[in-house]
Amino acid sequence: MIGAVLGRLGRHGAAVIAAGVFLGLLLPPLASLLRPLLLPAILLPFVVALLKVEVGRTAALLRRPGFSALLLLWLLLASPGLVWLVTAGIAMPSELRAALVTNAASAPLMASGALALILGLDVGLALLATVAATALLPLTLPPLALHLAGLGLEIDAWRLAARLAALIGGCFLVATLVRRRVGELRLLNWGRQLDGLAVLGLLIFAVAVMDGVAEFLRFRPTYALVTLVAVFALNAGLQAAGALVFWGHGRRTALTVGLLSGNNNIGIVLAALVVEAPVEFLAYVAMAQFPIYLLPVLQKPLYDRLLAEEGGG
């Protein structure tokens, strides 16, 4: 029964994750109830991504070191640099600009593979890029967030890097133990159920991160509205920029890179901060979930048409 439920979650992921952000806002007691599950919900999709990475596909990507290096350079360094430059000429609160740059500097969403599957994109590339970028995140994000972006936190870069490394290393350890226990063949057969687990993690996180957001909306509606507009612009803008930069590699690859560029896992930064995160950053992380969860529903018809045209061509 559990497997069947997870399979349905994997098949209907777009609708399920779109509903998640509204559940947390409409049912504040449910958001409060699920708040203790925030950390495992953030990490579960990454463990799933590690379990789904295929050795053969990893070797194929390693045979393209130029492409791989360019992709990681774009995701971890060029994207936040671009956002930092663009936002320099826009009047906005300094804490919002810092959050936008930090968002862009984060690795792709840990459930990028599930989103790529929903949109018909390159799941293998999404998984591998997410794993590689997340592994490098403790080295790249702390200096960018704290020095380039100027994110106001009561924590230094070394402590933030250590916390990120512990969270990410723990995911690698869990995935290794599960892989040895279960075996490669069974993991392949559980593909749809694993996608369902990733979607479940997204759903729980979407609900839990909304804890306290309804109250924030009431007391600071203008700031919340500006933040909401900004996160949609950031997500869509980075998706478009990433797709354009990699358009010469084919539509499916370019759109996959766009998906990875715009949908970033700023939640893991929240998880690493523990109690140091200011209220504006908490609200930003919550608002950033709206484009992540809603845009795939709007993108799917367009992506289906673009990919069909490429296949027909």
Nearest to 127 by CA among 140, 103, 108: 108
Nearest to 25 by CA among 192, 208, 167: 208
Residue 12: predicted pLDDT: 59
**Residue 172, CB-side half-sphere exposure with 13 Å CA sphere:** 12
Residue 143: predicted pLDDT: 83
Query: What CATH number was assigned to the domain covering residues 38-302?
Result: 1.20.1530.20
Residue 2: predicted pLDDT: 62
Residue 308: predicted pLDDT: 85
Beta bridge partners of 264: 108
Q: Report helix, strand or coil for 264.
A: strand
For 197-236, give the DSSP string: HHHHHHHHHHHHTTTTHHHHHHH-HHHHHHHHHHHHHHHH
Blockwise average pLDDT, block size 10, the chain, 313 residues: 60 66 83 87 83 65 81 95 92 90 90 80 86 87 78 70 86 89 78 77 84 83 92 96 94 94 87 69 87 85 84 56
